[in-house]
Chain A
Amino acid sequence: MATIAIELGLVLLAMVVFAVGLVFPHKTSGTAEARITLIGMLGLLALSATGWLPVRPAFGGSYLAGPVAVVFKQLFLLAGVLTALLSWPNPDRGALIPRNRTGEYLGLMLLSVTGMCFLVSARELVLLYVGLELVTVPLILLVALNRHELRSVEAGMKYVMFSAMSSGLLLYGLSLVYGMTGTTVLSAVAAKITRTPLTLLALVLVMCGVGFKISAAPFHLWTPDTYEGAPAPVAAFLSVASKAAGFALFYKVIAEAFGQVQGAWLGLVAILAALTMTFGNLAALHQTQMKRFLAFSSIAQAGYLMIGLTHGGELGLASVLYYLLVYLVSNMAAFAVVILIAAATGKEDMREYAGLSETNPALAAVMMLAMFSLAGIPPLAGFLGKFYLFAAAAEKGLYWLVFVGAINATISLYYYLTVIKWMYIAKPLNPAEPLGWIGISWAGGAVLAMTAAAMALIGILPQVIHWTEIAAAAGF
């Protein structure tokens, strides 16, 4: 029981949150559900941080939550906490999530986090696949949450099609793996796999499935439309939690299952990394719709993260874990500002942010920090994060990839600076309709404060990088 306490707690929370909405269908304002979710997730986060939970195999060896899995779970929970805060029901101002559907929304998010937690702890392909579906199905519903809005439905539809196809490919690949090795246990698969043409086919199929989750080129096509159409808090959750889950999936089904044939996939991952960041960056250059812009930026960020995957060892894993945390707080900070502005004014275009630094200096400052952190400017967290990813590739002698990454960081600076330009330098396009002062709720303020502090500190405090290094050394 105690072994899977986190997952059990999450399922329980989801049930409670659903039940509140069912029992009091007309009385609820959504606040009760949000409180339960927030307190529950913070409790689980604290519980996992204490380290009291036993590290024992469960379900006949198909489940084990080692140190790396715990780090991943904490990232998922943190993303969940921030998302819950960002979608806090607000009686005074407009909200991006309809208030009467808050319970539904939070419950689905909790279920998705549950799936992620199972996914990272799975030692066996069937449980892993079940976990993955538990991640994806609630996400589809979340994307299409505003079911009367055409864009939201369209986004949901695209997400369904792409995820169904990629799940199919992944499943096909996994079944080939089973056919070749006769087992679904990851460690046994890893021991038996050899380099044959069939292995390569399986590898490519599995890679397609993983590529979809982390929105790596050329499987990224769903990302911009889905982010743009989905409610902004859902897009935020998708961009960090779901992506982190995708990287966990990579470590399970590729790095571990195909561990013996590293030579077959390291080069492929390096090429995909270069493609992904280059494409993401070039496509982001001319975006002005913030959610779409952040979607392309998140594709580019996935490319940087994939640089860490090419290491295939401890340093690579540590750098990926660290960068996931950095990316999580930075992207959440950016989304927080987008969400707060969109909820208050309905404006989601960066050109409409002109003059923000004078009317809302706090929002502009957090956005600036987020942009600089994502671009990797010191002393913000993104700098050390990128440096570590590059170091991982350099240790393997992939200097060309480091170079591509560094050049891409420069290109990305252009569009991150463009956002800053609109906020700080540009004059409002339509002076008659300026962006007025925007009140920040306590929940929004908490997200802004937490993420800003995190961006400023985790790049210079040695404890954080140490934490991921220790976990990476101990393994999944």
Chain B
Amino acid sequence: MGLLTAIVLVPFLAALVIMALPRRREPWIKPVALAATGINLGLSLFLVLDYLRAIGPAGAPADAGAGLRLAHVERVPWLGRLGIEYYLGVDGISVLMIFLTAVVIFCGVFASWGHTYRVKEFFVFLLLLVTGVFGVFAAQDLFLFFLFYELAVLPMYLLIGLWGTGPKEYAAMKLTLMLMGGSALIVVGILVLYFQAGAKTFSISGIAQAGIPPATQAWLFPVMFFGFGTLGGLWPFHTWSPDGHASAPTAVSMLHAGVLMKLGGFGCLKLIYLMPHGALMWGTFFMALTTVNIFYGALVATQKTDLKYITAYSSVSHCGLVLFGLGALNQTAFQGAVVQMFAHGLMTALFFALIGMIYGRTHTRFITEMGGLLKVMPYLGVAYMIGGFAGLGLPGLAGFVAEIQVFVGAFSVNTPGHRIMTLLAAASVVTSAVYLLRALTRMLYGPMVNPDHAGLTDASFMEKVPLAILVFLLAFAGIYPGWMIRLIEYSLGPVMVQLQQATALPPI
């Protein structure tokens, strides 16, 4: 059994163990979940270091070709005569995403330590969900990829519906149906890719190398991009996100906004690799849509007073930046987009964890009903501030590394359209500052709005751990982003080769 299989199986087995625990062993549930996610955190950290070691100081040779640069490959024939394989493997980007997933779920388990309502089912579903997420990032066979992708939907409905707050049934149903609608586009796309490539394989790099006819790419690329874009929060299909994330319980919001939305961007990057012609035709169109994303998300966030809605709309804006970078179709912007996935994952996880903890104390999520909280909960307050600064792209934190690269990359494309869109997108940083600082000042400074809040306590030890991890990583990735850039740069090679080959051919 390979390392990647282990990473996928550990949470799954932990879910089975928890399911089998008798009622009197209920106190063991959380430690089991923590142990499983801890093991995975260790394994994924090893994965990062191992991949960095494999790249070496030299980086990729200049003519490495368009095959994906995979490590820890496991490949065995699996189902039927169509050529479905059990094919796992990781490149630098997947490694980074797996690491992000492991961090977020580890912190998510800490953040759910206080759960008391139907604990067993909660952790079973949470671990099943994360199994799917790990699987998506490791899968190299499109069928397997899609299987894991949908596996993440199975527990999501119940996680929000059962343990959520507010209009949770509506939000859960909306989220599930919109995401499944997106995946309906994806399944059609996968089958078209398979039969058009005619290579009798679902392997991503196999299909890319067999090539898809440009005429097919011209219509299939936008269809599939909308499919993945739905999960990535692409405007106008983002509406599931604010409702879903606002209603979901803390750990689920962390995981969903922090990691699952990244599956959208991750899938879109795979599409660019698979269909470079389509990407060249439609890149600008999707950049225009995501400009709306970035601007609209930030503007709505300035009008909201519910902390979860503010964060959810800022997620729409920030995830728009991921897709914006992908639409620019050059190395710098791609790098920025992937770093943004990582940075935003940490940042949103931090926000949602904090909101859960603050709500647990104040029993309100409205910033108008809070004030002066920094006096009573300095630890939580400072963590919120750091998250906010990362959100508005302050240098020294991970968000800056992402945003600067996306903007530089997008601006470097020498057309008026790209320049204007980049200016508009960059202007949204100002809007971000408005809503982030507004929330910070209202909530943390000023006089105490509610006198009952004076007696509140600061973070407990179990709450401090996840916050510390997330804040540390945000700062570490901001101050020393070199390791990430190396992982991403190395793994973007094949995508760039595909794009160059497509540019060299005359357009259809």
Contact = CB atoms under 8 A, between A and B. Distances in A.
Given A402-B188, A462-B80, 14 more contacts: A378-B146, A379-B147, A387-B143, A388-B82, A403-B184, A407-B184, A409-B180, A410-B181, A421-B161, A421-B173, A425-B162, A425-B169, A462-B78, A469-B80
A395 B192 CA distance: 8
Contacts of A466: 80
Contacts of B184: 403, 406-407, 409-410
Given A406-B184, A413-B176, A425-B162, A394 B150 contact: no
B183 to A, nearest CB: 8
Given A394-B195, A406-B188, A388 B80 contact: yes
Interface in B59-100: 77-82
B78 A377 contact: no
A397 B196 CA distance: 10
A172 interface: no
A378 B150 contact: yes
A439 B187 CA distance: 41
Interface string B479-496: 000000000000000000
Contact of B187 (A406, A420, A425): A406
B151 A414 contact: no
Contacts of A394: 188, 191-192, 194-195
The DSSP consensus for interface residues of chain A is helix
A394 B196 CA distance: 10
Interface in B31-76: none
A70 B485 CA distance: 59
A414 B177 contact: yes
Given A417-B173, A424-B158, A462-B80, A378 B181 contact: no
Contacts of A245: none
B413 interface: no
Contact of A406 (B173, B185, B194, B195): B185
Interface of B: 77-82, 143, 146-148, 150-151, 153-154, 157-158, 161-162, 169, 173, 176-177, 180-181, 183-185, 187-188, 191-192, 194-195
A421 B153 CA distance: 15
Interface in A401-455: 402-403, 406-407, 409-410, 413-414, 417, 420-421, 424-425
A420 B158 contact: yes
A390 interface: yes
Contacts of B153: 377
Given A377-B153, A417-B173, A403 B188 contact: yes
A335 interface: no
A421 B169 contact: yes
A383 B161 contact: no
A390 B187 contact: yes
B147 A465 contact: no
B337 to A, nearest CB: 28
Nearest to A322: B80
23 contacts: A377-B150, A377-B151, A378-B148, A378-B154, A387-B146, A390-B187, A394-B195, A397-B195, A402-B191, A403-B185, A403-B188, A406-B187, A407-B184, A409-B180, A409-B184, A410-B184, A414-B173, A414-B177, A417-B157, A420-B157, A424-B161, A462-B78, A462-B80
Which one of B79, B150, B169, B195 has the greatest number of beta carbons of chain A within 10 Å? B79
Contacts of A465: 79-80
Contacts of A424: 158, 161-162
Contacts of A403: 184-185, 188
Nearest to B12: A379
A212 interface: no
A370 to B, nearest CB: 13
A428 to B, nearest CB: 15
A469 B79 CA distance: 11
A323 interface: no
A391 interface: yes
A462 B144 CA distance: 14
Q: Which 7 A-B residue pairs are closest in the complex by CB-CB distance? A: A406-B184, A394-B191, A378-B147, A465-B80, A410-B180, A425-B161, A410-B181
B194 A417 contact: no
Nearest to A384: B79
A379 B153 CA distance: 11
Contacts of B79: 384, 460, 462, 465
B192 A399 contact: yes
A460 B151 CA distance: 13
A465 to B, nearest CB: 4
Contacts of B176: 413, 417
Contacts of B173: 414, 417, 421
A372 interface: yes
A270 to B, nearest CB: 15
Contact of B81 (A377, A402, A469): A469
B151 A378 contact: yes
Contacts of A462: 77-80
B181 A407 contact: yes
A425 B159 CA distance: 10
Contacts of A407: 181, 184
Contacts of B146: 378, 387
Interface string A154-184: 0000000000000000000000000000000
A387 B161 contact: no
Among A378, A384, A390, A469, find the residue whose CB has the most chain B CB atoms closer than 10 A.
A378
A395 B78 CA distance: 20
A404 to B, nearest CB: 10
